[in-house]
Amino acid sequence: MIYDYIIVGSGLGGLSAGLILQQKNFNVLILESHLKSGGCASDFARISKKNPVGKFIFDVGATTLSGLQNGRPLDKFLNLTGLKFKLKDKLIKQNTGLLIHLPNGNKIFRYADKEKWIDECLKKFITDYNSDYQKKNLIKFWNLVYKLEANAFKLTGKLKKFPPKKIYDFFNLPKNPANIKLLHYLFTDTYKILKKFNLHVNEDFMKFIEQQLLITFQSPPHKVPFLFAAMGLAYPSDTYYFKGGIQKFSQSIEDEFANSGGEIKFKHRVNQISFSDNTFQVTTFKGKFYARNVISNLTIWNMGEIVTDIKLKKYFENLKRNYSEAWGAFTLYIAVQDKFYDFDSLYHQIHYQSSINGNASIFVSISMKNDVEKSPNGWRTLTISTHLKNPEKWKEMESNEYIKNKKIITDEILNVLNSTFENFKNSEIKYLLSGTPKTFEFYTNRFNGFVGGIPSDISKNIFKFPSSFTPFKNLYMVGDSVFPGQGSPAVVLGAMNLTELIS
C-alpha cells in the first residue's frame, strides 16, 4: 500500500498535520516510536496499590496550552478540525496565567486581564509613585506588547512559506504597510525597545523580562526579536489548563484522526527514509512503509541520522552545525498530599540561586485541585523544570558525578518548594522522580535532550532559519525546530500553514 502521507512522530505538529490532511481525505499514516502520542506534550503514570490507591499522571514536559483566544492558532485549529465544541469543558482558562516569586519574597501575579496586569506591574516595578514618566513608559511598553501580539499571529499565519528560500517566495510576502511595520519589529531586538522606553535601567523589571523570555524563547532580551518577545510576554494572558493533563489534549487530536480514518502505529521508531521511483520508503524496526509524501515531526538535529540521500543528509548536518546550541532541562515529578497553599495559581515561576546554574528559575505546574484524572482526591501532581546549559555534558558525566549533580539540583528544588509554598514540607510525598537531559533524550529521542527548539538569536540570518520545506521535493518538517518555532501555538500554526500549502 502507498499512503498519500507518512508522518514521522506524533508530537503536536505531527498530530495536527495528520488530522488536517486526513480530514481533507488524504490517506495518512503516523509512525510513533513510543506507546502514546504527544511527544514533549505527553505524560507518564505511576499506579499506587497502597494508600492512596489510584493513578498519578505526570506531564512530561509541556504543561500549559495557550493561543486559544479568538483568532489565535489553537482557536483556529480547533475550529478547523471541529474539536472546539468537543473540548470546551476540558479547557479551563487561568485568571492568573503565571505567578512569579522573586528572591526577595515579592510575588508578581501575571493576571490574564490586561488592565489588571498593567496595574500589578506598576505597583511591583515602579517604586517611586510620583514618577509619572516611568509609569507612562511602562504602560506604553505593555500596550505595544499587546498590540503586536494581536497582529503577530495574523502575520505568521500569512507567512505560510517562511523563511523565503527563492525569489518567488519573497514576492509572495504580505505587502500590507501594517505588516511591513511588524516586520520592522522582527529585526529589532527586545533590549532596544526596553531602552527606548527607558526600562533598561529598572533592574528588577529587567530580571523579570529576562526570565520570561528564557521560558518562552530560550534567550536574553538582546537576542530575541521584539515581535517574538511580544508573543512570549503576552502568553500568560491566554493560559489554559487541560483537565486530565496535557497528553489528553494530544489524545483528543489522535482520537479525531482515527475517527477520520487515519492510521497510527506505535512502537515504530523510524530509522531510515529513502526515495526511489517517486515513492518514499520509510523503514522502522518492524517493517517498511511507502508514501508519496513524508512529513517529519523530528528535530533538525535528528533528521541527518535517518535520511539516505547524500545532499539531504548534508543539508541537515549543516543545520545541526549552524544551530548546535540549545537548552536542556532538569525535571522533577512529585506526587504530594494536598495540604500546601498554592496561592490560587497552577503555574509558578520561582527565581532562586543555584549552586550549579547560578541565577536560575524553576517552572512549577500543579495539577488542579480535585482533578481525579491526574491524581486521587486529596493529592496533586507537580511537574517542575529548570533550564540547563550544555545538556550534552550530562551524557559525558561519570556515574558518581551524574548521581551527585542530580541530588544537588533535586535538593535545591525541594528547598525552594519548601520555602515558597506554605506547609509544603509538612505534606506527604508519594513519588519523587527526576530527569536530566540524558533522561529526556532516552525517552524522546531528541538529540542531546534538547528542549524548546532553537533559541532565538537575532544575529543569525532569519532567512536561513530552518523551514518546513526541505531541499527534497515532498519531504517536509513540522515541530519546534522549524519556523515558526517553539510552543504549542507556533507548532500547531506551522502544521496548519504547511498543510494549506501542500494539500
Average pLDDT of 194-209?
92
| Yes or no: domain 2-40+247-324+454-502 corresponds to CATH 3.50.50.60 | yes
Contact between residue 3 and residue 291 where contact means Cβ atoms under 8 Å apart: yes
- The pLDDT tens digits for 11-64 are 999 999 999 999 999 999 999 999 999 999 999 999 999 999 999 999 998 899
Query: Cβ of 378: how many Cβ atoms within 10 Å?
Result: 11
What nine digits make up the cell of 14? 505531527
Number of Cβ within a 10 Å radius of residue 290: 14
Residue 104's pLDDT is: 83
- For 383-435, what is each residue's pLDDT tens digit? 999 999 999 999 999 999 999 999 999 999 999 999 999 999 999 999 999 99
Judge whether 5 and 293 are in contact, CB under 8 Å.
yes
- Whether pLDDT at 257 is above 80: yes
Q: What is the arithmetic mean of pLDDT over 322-342?
A: 95
- Cell numbers 500549559 correspond to 64
**Residue 171: pLDDT band with limits 50, 70, 90:** low
How does 149-164 read in b/e, with b if 16+ C-beta sit within 10 Å? Answer: bebbbbbbbebbbbbe
In angstroms, the CA 68 to CA 460 distance is 30
**Residue 147 DSSP SS3:** helix
277-318 pLDDT per residue, tens: 999 999 999 999 999 999 999 999 999 999 999 999 999 999
- pLDDT attached to residue 129: 59
Question: pLDDT-based confidence at 107, cuts 50/70/90?
Answer: very high
**Residue 175: predicted pLDDT:** 64
Name the least confident of 81-95, 329-343, 357-371, 467-481: 357-371
pLDDT value of position 166 = 63
Q: What is the pLDDT of residue 183?
A: 77
Which pLDDT value is given to residue 423? 97
pLDDT at 359: 73
**391's grid cell:** 545538556
Say whether pLDDT at 380 is over 70.
yes
Complete DSSP assignment for 429-494: EEEEEEE-HHHHHHHH--GGG-BSSSPP-TTS-GGGS--SB-SSTTEEE-STTSTT-SSHHHHHHH
453 or 178, greater pLDDT: 453
Q: Could you tell me the pLDDT band of residue 165, with boundaries at 50, 70 and 90? A: low
* Confidence band, pLDDT 50/70/90 cuts, at residue 178: low
DSSP label at 222? G
Residue range 102-128: average pLDDT? 91
Strands 270-276 and 263-265: unpaired
**C-beta atoms surrounding 448 within 10 Å:** 22
Mean pLDDT of the chain: 92
Categorize the per-residue pLDDT at 461 as very low, low, confident or very high, splitting at 50, 70 and 90.
confident
For residue 267, is it left (φ>0), alpha (ψ between -120 and 50) or beta?
Answer: left
Which cell numbers in the block locate residue 369?
485541585
Omega of the bond leading into 52 within 30 degrees of 0 (cis): yes
Q: Give the pLDDT band (50/70/90) at residue 130.
A: low
Q: Domain limits of the chain?
A: 2-40+247-324+454-502, 115-234
Provide the percentage of residues in the chain whose pLDDT is more than 90: 79
